[in-house]
Amino acid sequence: MAYTVPKLKDYSAPALDKAVQELLSALQQESKDVSSESDWKTFRDRWMARKNGVLTQVNVLWLKAAPEDAKRDVGQRVNQLKKQVEEVVEQTPEWLKGGASAARLTAEALDITLPGIRRPLGAEHPVIKTSNEMVAIFRNLGYSVEEGPEVETDYYNFESLNFPPNHPARDTQDTLFISGQESKPLRERLLLRTHTSPVQIRTMERLKPPIRIVIPGKVYRNDPPDASHSPMFHQIEGLAVDTNITLGDLKGTLDHAMKAMFGSSVKTAFRPSFFPFTEPSAEMLVSCFICGGSGRRGTEPCRPCKQTGWIEILGCGMVDPNVFEFVKDNGYDPKRVSGFAFGMGADRIALLKYGVDDLQLFFQGDVRFLEQFV
């Protein structure tokens, strides 16, 4: 039964104490019965409303109705009651939150002996995974990782790398140029980098020799997409510059890297080639790790190596002295230092490693395809 403020006939101290105690007991009980915010608002209004709240009724029925000789004592008790009621009403929402939190914690209690629930966070894309594996091999050899902008100037992408003005790579048939660059000097015109080699020049401008760097990143060429080409692909390049760097250092470094990537049984071979920024230049081949170098897979011919037993894997060479001339003032005097560089396609290595026959599968975002490499 809801509490109602009684009219007092006896204003003696014991009678006042009893009336105050009954009121506080009712206050505490009603506070405990509050279970929601709407309940609390009703509870607050019932006790503290100006027109007909319990405190207002106490003021009328107890204080105003008290005889003159008892008003002082009743007034003190009413003021004390007011403070107590206000405290209980203000604290009730905190009790409510605490009760809800306790109930929620009880409902969500976990048995810590059970296996945890792991959120599926996905996995590395096969091309990125392949690139990271190769970069890790060179980091273990003491190489640092460098990066650079994908929108480059003609100077860093071609001129400083010893590309002559009439080189085919400078033509729009091979390179994606940024529009509206015709009014600029040739060396300042912007393009999407065709290789990560510009980072080599940028790093040599910033750091003095010796340096050993590996450069992963996306590059762009004006190639129509097909099973073996894409206008965007991933490349990994490396550069080592010091005194007395020789072709033997290049061959030994790359031989170790290929064995670490494809297995210790892999053999390597080099054949002469040409690149504008290296002299001499070579293409590196590895013995086919799919057919074991036999050229056949059982009774069928080995397609990845085209039955030769060898797979071309990267281009490399000794840094052309003309390239050092562009950074000569930073300690790269071609008469005092030498170096080697190499570059490989991470996409091509991923194709070979995972036995995929269509490059476009890596870029189509088909989850069914990508889930195979988790």
Q: What's the pLDDT score for residue 93?
A: 77
**What are the residues whose beta carbons fall under 8 Å from the beta carbon of 355, sequence distance 6 or more?**
290
Would strands 232-242 and 211-220 be described as parallel, antiparallel, or unpaired?
Answer: antiparallel
d(CA 231, CA 216): 17
Collapsing DSSP to helix, strand or coil, 287 comes out as strand
Q: What is the DSSP string of 151-180?
A: EEEHHHHTGGGT--TT-GGGSTTTS-BPSS
CA angle 212, 215, 218 (to 5 degrees): 175
Q: What's the pLDDT score for residue 106?
A: 53
Report the DSSP beta bridge partners of residue 219.
Answer: 233
**CB-based contact 191:176 (threshold 8 Å):** yes
| 194 C-beta neighbours (distance < 10 Å), count | 21
| 11 C-beta neighbours (distance < 10 Å), count | 17
Report the DSSP beta bridge partners of residue 123.
Answer: none
pLDDT mean values, one per 10 residues, the chain (374 residues): 83 86 87 82 86 86 85 87 88 66 53 76 86 96 96 94 82 84 89 95 95 96 88 95 95 95 92 93 91 82 86 94 94 95 93 88 88 81
Nearest in space to 195 (alpha carbons), one of 315, 286, 332, 279: 315
Helix axes 37-48, 71-107, angle to 10 degrees: 180
Q: What is the DSSP string of 182-215?
A: TTS-GGG-EEE-SSSTHHHHHHHHHSPSPEEEEE
d(CA 236, CA 214): 7
